Chain A
């Protein structure tokens, strides 16, 4: 492997223990993938922020003790809870203490306190073609696919080491050749344009895509060019949950797939799979509880973190009506979106309707036992994928409009979809 003089110094300890250990891990990773050299990155997204255990806190604190610092702009992902309103969420003090230790360590490393899983909607997006190192599966998929910047699926805490050294082995999706689509998903004749009017169609199509494609790079043809940024966000998150998708191409939509030829870099698809109404129905069975009309404990939105545009949709859907007394409507977002929401007067109006807006935290960390939550509803395919594993409850999936309507009526309301019989 070719190393620059500086990289050799990182590896031999000239620049201290932290750099040596970090570079040692990245060098080993490079050896595994048979890389020829490293590539410098321009930014990093740090997902070692949701408390998953003491090992992670100890590791971040160890890096600080070793004198490590990020050498590229590094944004923090969502953490476990709202750092100011954790008591309202009924999160215990132990989790709060652990989160504050994570915060202290990561800020000492020089992280930007963004605390969001949608940094690309909070002013922290790379540019097309830039080399970056991101962790957080939806951020990885979004930044690669929708922005066209280049990252592999870096897991916490590997991204910390990339941010500290400012480089990664040049392999995988950093390399143009590997970004080529190999297979194609087309839409069957029974997928009709009226389905495109429902936001949950995109989530279900994304679930099916991830299930079929697994961890490979494929393209999908046939979606309408007017698809919203938030649907692209939810698709990224859903595909990266049902599958291990790091990069997907939407023909005519995403930047590396303005044409079919571009997506396949001049080659032909090696495999073509048709997505049918049946695939959408199957995805709905996986993501949405089949019971109807049952009482609803919690509507949880913002997985990934809610955007200003989504808040507008939510307020429109509520139409001045209050959330039902027996139901909670929680929305998770980042600090920057909340600030804009406050300045526009929307936060005040939504609060008056009983909507609770939380920052920093993650809806997947809901303290289910403390609330006795039995039924969940969300617009998120990611939440839908992980909910049972975390809560042992099968959630309901709906559009923002259906989620709002259900929250008002206190029971699950879903409108008839064109893909239903």
Chain B
């Protein structure tokens, strides 16, 4: 287990323990993710064909189409969304879906930022624990 320093851009309401889907590649939710089943569609992405549904999806930053906000909202509606998003930096394109869910639908999709060094510390980890307060998360090697 490692404990990493992080910033909770949007913190969960309760402590949560979820499977981690990690990658070094930025992603475009539009064209890069299938909203219907939560799988990565972009063959250039390290998580190609893996599902992010109900997992903490870690990618360094968002890229590509600004349709990401709408795709994430639809994934939340279809219950295919990730349980949390972990980035080195979160631009407004990625933050839009979680912020609108929070204010308009009273649903929380936690968003967490890590320094590049701490982010690299997630590689190979299987599970993360996220907390409603504080500035740390825990990552585990086994489920």
Report A410 CB to chain B, min CB distance, Å.
Answer: 28
Range class of the A interface residue count: 35 or more
Interface contact B100-A53, CB-CB below 8 Å: no
Q: For A53, what are the chain B residues with a Cβ–Cβ distance below 8 Å?
A: 35, 70-71, 73-74, 77-78
Which range contains the number of B residues in contact with the other chain?
Answer: 35 or more
With beta carbons under 8 angstroms apart, the residue of A54, A137, A210 that contacts B74 is A54
What chain A residues lie within 8 Å of B96 (beta carbons)?
A: 154-158
Pair count A-B, CB < 8 A: 134
Most buried by B among A53, A152, A388, A389: A389
Q: How far is the CA of A286 from the CA of B100 in the complex (A)?
A: 35
Of all chain A residues, which has the CB nearest B45? A389
Chain B residues with CB under 8 Å of A241's CB are: 28, 64-65
Assuming the contacts A32-B95, A53-B77, A389-B42, asked whether A59 and B64 have C-beta atoms less than 8 A apart, the reply is no
B71 touches A52 (CB 8 A): yes
Q: Which residues of B contact A50 (CB under 8 A)?
A: 67
Residues from chain B with a CB closer than 8 A to the CB of A135 are: 66
Closest partner residue, chain A, to B7 (CB atom): A32
Q: Determine if A385 and B64 form an interchain contact, defined as CB atoms under 8 angstroms apart.
A: yes
Interface bits A136-174 vs B (CB < 8 Å: 1, else 0)? 110010000000000011111110000000000000100
Contact between chains at B76 and A386 (CB < 8 Å): no
Contact of B77 with A155 in the complex, beta carbons under 8 Å: no
**CB of B78, distance to nearest CB on chain A (Å):** 7
Asked whether B63 lies within 8 Å of A214 as measured between CB atoms, the reply is: yes
| A340 within 8 A of partner (CB) | no
Closest approach, in angstroms, between the C-beta of A49 and any C-beta of chain B? 10
Known: A286-B44, A388-B43. A157 touches B64 (CB 8 A): no
CA A385 to CA B65, docked complex, whole Å: 11
- B62 within 8 A of partner (CB): yes
Contact across chains for B74 and A214 when beta carbons are under 8 A apart: no
Chain A residues with Cβ under 8 A from B94's Cβ? 155
Contact assessment for A62 and B104 in the assembled complex, using a CB-CB cutoff below 8 Å: yes
Contacts of B63 in A (CB 8 A): 210, 214-215, 242-244
Within 8 Å of chain A (Cβ to Cβ): is B13?
no
User: With a CB–CB cut-off of 8 A, which chain B residues contact A154?
Assistant: 66, 92-93, 96
For window 39-62 of A, CB contacts with B under 8 Å fall at: 47-48, 50, 52-56, 59, 62
CB distance from B104 to the nearest CB of A (A): 6
B61 within 8 A of A: yes
Q: Check if B42 sits within 8 Å of A158, measured CB to CB.
A: no
Q: Give the residue of B26, B32, B92 whose beta carbon is less than 8 angstroms from that of A389.
A: B32
Any chain A CB within 8 A of the CB of B137?
Answer: no
A28 CA to B98 CA, complexed, in Å:
11
**Given the known A-B contacts A53-B71, A54-B74, are A158 and B32 also in contact in the complex, defined by CB atoms under 8 Å?**
no
Contact with B along A379-407 (1 / 0, CB 8 A): 00000011011100000000000000000
A244 to B65, CA, bound (A): 8
Is B91's beta carbon under 8 Å from chain A?
yes
| B32 / chain A contacts, CB cutoff of 8 Å | 389
Please tell me which one of the listed residues B44, B65, B74 contacts residue A56 in the complex, with CB atoms under 8 A apart. B74
Interchain CB contact under 8 A, A136 and B66: yes
Most chain B C-beta atoms within 10 Å of own C-beta, residue among A140, A155, A156, A158: A155
B31 within 8 A of A: yes
A240 within 8 A of B: yes
CA distance A364 to B31 in the complex (A): 9
A52-B67, A158-B92 known; 11 other A-B pairs, CB under 8 Å? A28-B102, A53-B77, A53-B78, A55-B77, A56-B74, A153-B66, A153-B92, A156-B69, A158-B69, A215-B91, A244-B26
- Using CB atoms and an 8 Å cutoff, list the residues of chain A in contact with chain B: 21, 24-25, 28-29, 32, 47-48, 50, 52-56, 59, 62, 135-137, 140, 152-158, 172, 210, 214-215, 240-244, 286, 364, 385-386, 388-390
Cross-chain pairs A/B with CB under 8 angstroms, 19 sampled? A24-B103, A25-B103, A28-B103, A29-B92, A29-B95, A29-B99, A53-B71, A137-B64, A140-B66, A155-B92, A155-B93, A155-B96, A214-B63, A215-B61, A241-B65, A244-B93, A386-B65, A388-B43, A389-B43
4 shortest A-B CB distances, which residue pairs?
A53-B74, A155-B69, A244-B63, A386-B31
